[in-house]
């Protein structure tokens, strides 16, 4: 059991000017499941590898518990890289498959048996301990592999995209298992993924990283409900948040012919650099159809609709007046259409123009110049 | 995870190796709807394969009955025209990533299996998606380590395999390849005279970088040690390991071998200016280890009294390149050394020491090597490499001569060898079937591969595990 601390950690690869990880400060609490998430090349794997001892740290330090491990060899750090393709040995029993690494380390036999039995209980493998892998199902084989990491009782588990080599079916199943297992064991865990769904469903806390810079750390709901900047807003959540830049006129956001009200304290925070504009974000579920005469709604030209039975989705283009400032600039990485979730019984038709009203308490506002949250 | 960090800084050969770049799964990287084959070969037979079927259910007549290693994924050897390809069913990201990295490794002339294709957009007859397949070329004459232990072997086999693996690891590390999953299972072995040579076959977790950190190298070594000991303990559990082998000692040997080879290739020597002959000695030693020195770095130490010498660029395959130049034969390093020695002996015995070696080599090929290897019986031609056959015949001939007390003609030695030694090379069908069954015992992601203990038709969808995990 241990806390992990990244203290002003920087990694610059030889020959690069820009750091791959830049002045990272991050605490993983004792027993916590922290998910590090970000797009390809954001520095998340580099961060994990620095903790594993596979990458050098150019500036700053890393601590596991009260030990400074910054320059320590990987094998001395008491960490376990889980799932690095553990092979199952066909002639060994399940118990031996799980415990052989302890045997190598010279752990006494009784201790090995004890730890293997404990792990088997957690993994629901007790009745299979004396069987060979051949007699197991795929899920059970997978759990034997997990058992190998568990019996070592490391201070920290490191998982780098552990689900990427599993097919879709096994991936969802294993995702639940890893999260449940980590909670039972209470071992501090750093989990790296590019998949925000994995992050939201598994982590106690999520750290979002982009281009080597930590964007926000918080509980899944915190990141979902109050993203600190435009990047986090667009990255977390699926379908992703609608994000557009609009002119601010008389304290209101001008969307095409329409205007919507903005909280005064948010508008006050805009600066000259923002050029009288504001980024308005809302999640597809935080808006709804509104009557044609609603003064606080905007018009959407419906391009496509989806009826999923329980939910309906409208995809459309915000109708703008064509002025330069109004070319609805989409800042999230989803397709350029605005998405709204509605009651599937009242889905409009493709080609219709509808009014959409954003729930004012669920509106996310950002400054265009800094991309930081305003409300 | 990217397959190669900082691609632009890699050796240009590796940087330009492929058009395939593995991407994370996101919106703009969707699975192709139609079958897509990205191939490094233009074998038209590739299109005629039953891609719409899960690999585990492909018809038997397509499969080559060759021994496979243990894998977590479904792997099959498939006849495609005159070639045999290894097919591995994995997720598209993994397939693309491994293809990409194997292409780069191949361009660096490292010993690794040759990637042939990535097949994506597979669907079954109902239109349901199937996983991608990575296609690599089967390395002819190679065997997984388990197949080597399935026969009666010399007691030092484990050690010789370890030595080969140490050489492979050092070569990969020198080229900036971090493996991340070193084990005997992830390697194929070729006989190389009295030794073995090891070839990288699984690069799923690998990464190509400009230089490796010490932490990466040490992690690979530590993981290799653990995996090797585990693999040997497994053989011991199956009574396949000679009793006198100490698994932990063999694992430790890997660590020692790696370190001594690494330091021979990379350490800086200090000489006095009047000891320059020591440089030559260092180069000779590297040649003995099978490495060519392309560049030496020499500089004067700060005190001005000593010269610091360090090899900067080393290439493996010193003897094999020399033999290739002389004869056109492309063989393993130790085989090459043996053949070069025989060529030297031939030159001496025919009194042609003044003649150019290239000309003598042509005659040696015609008069000695080719007549010998032509005698390999047809049924063994896919089992033993000609150069290995030649090497073993020479060794056999030496023993015969020692027994007889006089020289034995080559033709006689060949006949005796074919009669008494060669049959040991044959893996019978029973052995292969046992190996294949073992190999499938570790597959985790394919319902056709499980032998359900209760035989109640295992279906991952209603796996009781889900319930176990939820409380």
CATH number, position B229: 1.10.510.10
Q: What mean pLDDT, rounded, does chain B reach?
A: 85
From B77, B110, B138, give the residue that closes a domain.
B138
Are residue A209 and residue A296 in the same domain, yes or no? no
Q: Nearest CA of chain A to the CA of B184: how many Å? A: 11
Q: Nearest CA of chain A to the CA of B97: how many Å? A: 11
User: Mutation test of the interface with chain B: which of A139, A183, A333, choosing the one with the most B Cβ atoms within 10 A?
Assistant: A139
Q: What is the pLDDT of residue B216?
A: 94
- Range with the poorest average pLDDT among A92-106, A147-161, B280-294, B401-415: B280-294
pLDDT band at B147; cut points 50, 70, 90: confident
Q: In the predicted model, what is the mean pLDDT of residues B438-465?
A: 59
**pLDDT digits 0-9 by tens, B239-258:** 888 888 899 999 999 999 99
Q: In the predicted model, what is the mean pLDDT of residues A161-187?
A: 85
Are residue A334 and residue A221 in the same domain, yes or no? no
3-class state of residue B32 by DSSP = coil
Are residue A54 and residue A153 in the same domain, yes or no? yes
Q: Does A278 fall in a domain?
A: yes
- Is residue B230 scored above 70 in pLDDT? yes
Are residue B98 and residue B171 in the same domain, yes or no? no
Are residue B12 and residue B130 in the same domain, yes or no? yes
Q: Of A279-283, A325-329, B203-207, B270-274, where does the model show the most confidence?
A: A279-283
Are residue B361 and residue B395 in the same domain, yes or no? yes
- Is residue B452 scored above 70 in pLDDT? no
Q: In the predicted model, what is the mean pLDDT of residues A188-195?
A: 94
Q: What is the pLDDT of residue A186?
A: 92
Could you tell me the residue range of the domain that residue B322 belongs to?
318-425
Q: What is the pLDDT of residue B307?
A: 79
Q: What is the pLDDT of residue A220?
A: 96
Q: What is the pLDDT of residue B3?
A: 45
Are residue B40 and residue B126 in the same domain, yes or no? yes
Q: Does A116 fall in a domain?
A: yes
- Is residue A86 scored above 80 in pLDDT? no
Q: Does B292 fall in a domain?
A: no
In chain A, the percentage of residues whose pLDDT exceeds 90 is 74
Are residue A263 and residue A166 in the same domain, yes or no? no
Q: In the predicted model, what is the mean pLDDT of residues A219-239?
A: 95
* Angstrom distance (rounded) from CA A84 to CA B120: 24
- Is residue A329 scored above 60 in pLDDT? no
Are residue A254 and residue A228 in the same domain, yes or no? no
Are residue B76 and residue B192 in the same domain, yes or no? no
CATH number, position A98: 3.40.50.300
Domain count, chain A: 2
For residue A79, the chain B residue with the least C-alpha distance is B219
Domain count, chain B: 3
Contacts of A195 in chain B (CB under 8 A): 25
**pLDDT digits 0-9 by tens, B386-406:** 999 999 999 999 999 999 999
Residue B298 exposure: Cα atoms within 13 Å on the Cβ side: 12
Q: In the predicted model, what is the mean pLDDT of residues A67-74?
A: 94
Contacts of B144 in chain A (CB under 8 A): none
Are residue A303 and residue A355 in the same domain, yes or no? yes
For residue B442, the chain A residue with the least C-alpha distance is A88
For residue A44, the chain B residue with the least C-alpha distance is B1
Q: What is the pLDDT of residue B467?
A: 39
- Is residue A326 scored above 60 in pLDDT? no
Contact check, Cβ <8 Å, A75/B218: yes
pLDDT band at A270; cut points 50, 70, 90: very high
- Is residue B459 scored above 70 in pLDDT? no
Contact by Cβ (8 Å): A350, A320: no
Are residue A324 and residue A351 in the same domain, yes or no? yes
Are residue B227 and residue B153 in the same domain, yes or no? yes
Residue A174 CB partners (closer than 8 Å, separation 6+):
A142, A162, A163, A166
Q: Which of A73, A136, A165 is opposite residue B91, by nearest beta carbon?
A: A165
Are residue B160 and residue B249 in the same domain, yes or no? yes
Inter-axis angle of helices B357-364 and B333-349, nearest 10: 100
Q: Does B419 fall in a domain?
A: yes
- Is residue A332 scored above 70 in pLDDT? no
Q: Which residue has the higher pLDDT, B65 or B425?
A: B65
Sign of the CA dihedral B278, B284, B286, B292? positive
pLDDT band at B152; cut points 50, 70, 90: low
Query: A168-172 contacts: CB < 8 A, separation 24 or more?
Result: A169/B460, A169/B461, A170/A138, A170/A139, A170/A142, A170/B444, A170/B445, A170/B460
Q: Does A375 fall in a domain?
A: no
Contact check, Cβ <8 Å, A194/B26: yes
Contact check, Cβ <8 Å, A170/B178: no
pLDDT band at B23; cut points 50, 70, 90: low
- Is residue B149 scored above 90 in pLDDT? no
Contact check, Cβ <8 Å, B469/A177: yes
pLDDT band at B468; cut points 50, 70, 90: very low
Contacts of A103 in chain B (CB under 8 A): 233
* Angstrom distance (rounded) from CA B313 to CA B291: 10
Q: What is the pLDDT of residue B6?
A: 65
From A183, A203, A232, give the residue that closes a domain.
A232
**pLDDT digits 0-9 by tens, B284-329:** 888 888 887 777 787 887 777 777 888 776 778 888 889 999 999 9
Q: What is the pLDDT of residue B15?
A: 79
Are residue A109 and residue A198 in the same domain, yes or no? yes
- Specify the residue for token string 């197991």: A136
Q: What is the pLDDT of residue B54?
A: 94
Are residue B78 and residue B159 in the same domain, yes or no? no
Residue B262 CB partners (closer than 8 Å, separation 6+):
B170, B173, B217
* ipTM, two decimals: 0.83
Are residue B151 and residue B131 in the same domain, yes or no? no
- Is residue A140 scored above 90 in pLDDT? no
For residue B131, the chain A residue with the least C-alpha distance is A167
Q: Does B180 fall in a domain?
A: yes
User: Mutation test of the interface with chain B: which of A17, A120, A137, A210, choosing the one with the most B Cβ atoms within 10 A?
Assistant: A137
Q: Which of A104, A139, A180 is opposite residue B463, by nearest beta carbon?
A: A139
Q: Does A254 fall in a domain?
A: yes
**pLDDT digits 0-9 by tens, B416-426:** 999 999 988 87
Q: What is the pLDDT of residue B451?
A: 54
Q: What is the pLDDT of residue B117?
A: 94
Contacts of A339 in chain B (CB under 8 A): none
Contact check, Cβ <8 Å, A91/B238: yes
Q: What is the pLDDT of residue A72?
A: 94
Inter-axis angle of helices B357-364 and B318-327, nearest 10: 80
Contacts of B210 in chain A (CB under 8 A): 13-15
From A198, A214, A232, give the residue that closes a domain.
A232
CATH number, position A288: 2.40.50.140
Reading phi first (left if > 0) and then psi (alpha if -120 to 50, else beta), residue A225 is in alpha
* Angstrom distance (rounded) from CA A134 to CA A125: 14
Q: Does B192 fall in a domain?
A: yes
Q: Nearest CA of chain A to the CA of B185: how many Å? A: 8
Contact check, Cβ <8 Å, A170/B445: yes
Are residue A244 and residue A225 in the same domain, yes or no? no
For residue A235, the chain B residue with the least C-alpha distance is B26
For residue B70, the chain A residue with the least C-alpha distance is A87
Are residue A319 and residue A197 in the same domain, yes or no? no
Are residue B256 and residue B335 in the same domain, yes or no? no
**pLDDT digits 0-9 by tens, B160-183:** 899 999 999 999 999 999 999 999
Could you tell me the residue range of the domain that residue A105 belongs to?
4-232
Are residue B126 and residue B193 in the same domain, yes or no? no
pLDDT band at B198; cut points 50, 70, 90: very high
Are residue A48 and residue A104 in the same domain, yes or no? yes
Contact check, Cβ <8 Å, B233/A100: yes
Q: What is the pLDDT of residue B453?
A: 45
Contacts of B449 in chain A (CB under 8 A): 138
From A212, A232, A252, give the residue that closes a domain.
A232
**pLDDT digits 0-9 by tens, A341-363:** 999 998 999 999 999 999 999 99
From B425, B443, B464, give the residue that closes a domain.
B425
For residue A182, the chain B residue with the least C-alpha distance is B469
Q: Does A372 fall in a domain?
A: no
Contact check, Cβ <8 Å, A104/B229: yes
Are residue A177 and residue A292 in the same domain, yes or no? no
Tell me how far CA of residue A171 lies from CA of A148, A187, A209, B56, in angstroms: 19, 21, 23, 20
Q: Nearest CA of chain A to the CA of B210: how many Å? A: 8
Q: Does A374 fall in a domain?
A: no
Are residue B201 and residue B322 in the same domain, yes or no? no
Q: How many CB atoms lie within 10 A of CB A331?
A: 20
């Amino acid at each position: 059991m241990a806390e992990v601390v990244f203290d002003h950690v920087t990694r610059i690869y030889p020959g690069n000017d820009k750091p791959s990880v830049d002045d990272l400060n991050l605490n993983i609490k004792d027993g916590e499941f922290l998910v590090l998430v970000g797009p390809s090349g954001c520095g998340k794997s580099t961060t994990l590898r620095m903790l594993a001892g596979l990458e050098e740290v150019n500036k700053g330090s890393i601590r596991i518990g009260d030990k400074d491990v910054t320059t320590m060899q990987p094998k001395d750090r008491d960490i376990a890289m889980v799932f690095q393709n553990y092979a199952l040995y066909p002639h060994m029993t399940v118990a031996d498959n799980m415990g052989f690494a302890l045997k190598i380390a010279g752990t006494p036999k009784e201790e090995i048996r004890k730890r293997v039995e404990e792990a088997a209980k957690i993994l629901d493998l007790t009745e299979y301990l004396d069987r060979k892998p051949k007699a197991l199902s795929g899920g059970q084989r997978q759990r034997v592999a997990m058992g190998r990491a568990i019996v070592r009782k490391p201070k920290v588990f490191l998982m780098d995209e552990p689900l990427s080599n599993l097919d879709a079916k096994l991936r969802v199943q294993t995702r639940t298992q890893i999260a449940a297992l980590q909670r039972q064991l209470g071992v501090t865990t750093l989990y790296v993924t590019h998949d925000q769904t994995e992050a939201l469903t598994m982590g106690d806390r999520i750290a979002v990283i982009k281009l080597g810079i930590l964007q926000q750390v918080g509980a899944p709901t915190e990141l979902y409900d109050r993203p600190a900047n435009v990047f986090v807003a667009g990255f977390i959540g699926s379908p992703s948040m609608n994000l557009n830049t609009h002119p601010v006129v008389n304290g209101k956001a001008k969307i095409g012919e329409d205007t919507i009200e903005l909280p005064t304290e948010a508008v006050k925070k805009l600066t000259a650099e923002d050029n009288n504009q504001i980024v308005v974000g809302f999640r597809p579920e935080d808006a709804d159809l509104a009557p044609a005469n609603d003064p606080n709604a905007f018009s959407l030209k419906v391009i496509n609709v989806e009826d999923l039975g329980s939910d309906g989705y409208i995809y459309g283009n915000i109708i703008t007046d064509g002025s330069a400032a109004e070319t609805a600039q989409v800042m999230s990485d989803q397709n350029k259409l605005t998405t709204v979730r509605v009651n599937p019984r009242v889905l409009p038709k493709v080609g219709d123009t509808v009014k959409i009203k954003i729930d004012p308490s669920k509106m996310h506002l950002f400054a265009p110049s800094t991309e930081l949250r305003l409300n | 995870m990217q397959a190669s960090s900082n691609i632009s800084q890699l050796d240009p050969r590796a940087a330009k190796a492929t058009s395939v770049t593995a991407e994370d799964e996101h919106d703009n990287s969707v699975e192709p709807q139609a079958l897509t084959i990205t191939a490094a070969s233009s074998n038209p037979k590739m299109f005629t394969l039953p891609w719409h079927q899960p690999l585990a259910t492909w018809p038997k007549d397509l499969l080559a009955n060759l021994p496979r290693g243990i894998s977590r994924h479904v792997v099959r050897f498939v006849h495609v025209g005159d070639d045999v390809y290894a097919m591995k069913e994995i997720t598209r990201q993994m397939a693309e990533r491994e293809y990409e990295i194997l292409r780069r490794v191949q361009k660096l002339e490292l010993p690794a299996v040759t990637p042939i294709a990535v097949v994506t957009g597979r669907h079954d007859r109902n239109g349901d998606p199937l996983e991608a397949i990575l296609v690599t070329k089967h390395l002819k004459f190679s065997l997984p380590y388990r197949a080597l232990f399935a026969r009666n072997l010399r007691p030092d086999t484990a050690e010789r395999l370890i030595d080969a693996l140490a050489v492979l690891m050092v070569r990969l590390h020198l080229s900036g390849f971090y493996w991340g999953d070193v084990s005997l299972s992830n390697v194929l072995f070729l006989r190389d005279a009295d030794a073995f040579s090891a070839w990288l076959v699984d690069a799923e977790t690998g990464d190509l970088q400009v230089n490796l950190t010490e932490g990466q190298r040490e992690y690979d070594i530590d993981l290799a040690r653990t995996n090797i000991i585990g693999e040997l303990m497994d053989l011991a559990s199956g009574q396949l390991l000679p009793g006198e082998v100490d698994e932990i000692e063999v694992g430790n040997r890997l660590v020692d071998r790696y370190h001594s080879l690494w330091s021979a290739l990379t350490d800086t020597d200090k000489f006095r200016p009047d000891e320059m002959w020591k440089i030559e000695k260092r180069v000779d030693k590297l040649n003995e280890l099978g490495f060519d020195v392309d560049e030496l770095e020499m500089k004067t130490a700060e005190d001005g009294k000593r010269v610091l010498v360090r090899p900067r660029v080393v290439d493996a395959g010193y003897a094999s390149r020399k033999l290739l130049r002389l004869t056109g034969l492309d063989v393993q390093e130790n085989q090459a050394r043996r053949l070069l020695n025989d060529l030297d002996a031939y030159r001496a015995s025919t009194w042609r020491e003044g003649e150019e070696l290239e000309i003598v080599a042509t005659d040696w090929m015609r008069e000695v090597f080719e007549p010998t290897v032509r005698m390999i019986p047809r049924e063994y031609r896919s089992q033993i490499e000609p150069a290995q056959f030649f090497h073993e015949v020479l060794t056999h001939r030496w023993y015969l001569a020692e027994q007889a007390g006089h020289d034995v003609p080559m033709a006689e030695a060949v006949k005796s060898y074919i009669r008494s030694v060669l049959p040991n090379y044959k893996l019978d069908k029973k052995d292969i079937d046992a190996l294949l069954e073992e190999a499938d015992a570790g597959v985790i992601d394919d319902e056709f591969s499980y032998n359900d203990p209760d035989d109640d038709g295992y279906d991952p969808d209603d796996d009781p595990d889900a319930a176990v995990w939820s409380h």
